[in-house]
Amino acid sequence: MREKAEDIQRILDDLYPETPIPLRHEDAYTLLVAVVLSAQCTDERVNQITPLLYKRADNPADMAKVPVDEIREIIKPCGLSPSKSKAISELSKIIIEKHGGQVPESFEELEALPGVGHKTASVVMSQAFGHPAFPVDTHIHRLAARWGLSSGKNVEQTERDLKAIFPEASWNKLHLQIIYFGRQYCPARGHKPEECPICSKYGV
C-alpha cells in the first residue's frame, strides 16, 4: 500500500506541481465564507458569487450588519441559500463576539461555528493557516475507493486511511491535487479507466 501511495503521489506531483486554491479569497474569513457556499455547489459558481457578496461585506463586522434576506438574495445561485445565508450571518457575529473579529485557528472552534463541518474546518486550517489537514469531500472519498486506498464507508474513515498512508507534510497539497486530477482524468460519470493515469494502474 505504501509503495502504491508513493507512486500515486509521484503521478500527482508530475501532473500538478502547483496547486492554486480553487476558491478565490483574500484572507481566512473570505475563504471560510467561500467554503460554506461551496457545499453542493461548484467552485466556479462560488467564484462568480463571492465578488458580489464581498462588495457588500468582506469582513465579519460588516457582514454581521447585513440582513440575512439580503445575503440570501446574493447567494441564491449557490443553492441552499436559506441555510447558508443564516450560517454566514451567525458565524460572522460569533467571530466578532467570541474571537475578536478573527477567524479562529483551531478545529474545535471552527467546527463550533454555524454551517462549518469538519471538512470546511479542514480546508480553512490547511489553506488559510497552513496547518496539516486532509479535507475529504465526496470526490476524494470516491477516488480513494476507486484506487483501493480506502474501503471507508464514509468520508471520516477515508480521511483516517489517507492520513495513515501519506506523509503529513503532503496532505495540504495532496488533497488539492486529487481534486484537480478527479476533474481532469477521473470523473464520476463517463470515466475511461484505461485512459486514466492512475486507474489504468491501480483502478479497483
Q: Return per-residue pLDDT of the chain as tens, 204 residues.
A: 889 999 999 999 999 999 999 999 999 999 999 999 999 999 999 999 999 999 999 999 999 999 999 999 999 999 999 999 999 999 999 999 999 999 999 999 999 999 999 999 999 999 999 999 999 998 999 999 999 999 999 999 999 999 999 999 999 999 999 999 999 999 999 999 999 999 999 986
Among 3, 39, 2, 4, which residue's Cα sits nearest to residue 146? 4
- Whether 69 is a known active-site residue: answer no
CATH number at residue 82: 1.10.340.30
CATH number at residue 179: 1.10.1670.10
Q: Among 14, 86, 93, 119, which one carries the catalytic annotation?
A: 119
b/e code 159-179 from CB counts within 10 Å (16+ = b):
bebbeebbeeebbbbbbbbbb
> How buried is residue 20: exposed, middle or buried, by Cβ count under 10 Å (0-12/13-18/19+)?
exposed
Q: Which of 66, 98, 128 is the last residue of a domain?
A: 128
**Are the beta carbons of 157 and 197 closer than 8 angstroms?**
no
pLDDT at 189: 92
Number of domains in the chain: 2
| pTM reported for the whole predicted model | 0.93
Q: Are residues 108 and 178 in the same domain?
A: no
Q: Are residues 151 and 89 in the same domain?
A: no
pLDDT at 49: 98
- Whether 119 is a known active-site residue: answer yes
Q: Are residues 110 and 184 in the same domain?
A: no
Q: Are residues 160 and 175 in the same domain?
A: yes
The parent domain of residue 188 ranges over 2-19+133-202
Q: Among 27, 137, 173, 201, which one carries the catalytic annotation?
A: 137
pLDDT at 174: 97
pLDDT at 73: 98
CA-based max dimension of the chain? 54
Q: Are residues 123 and 137 in the same domain?
A: no
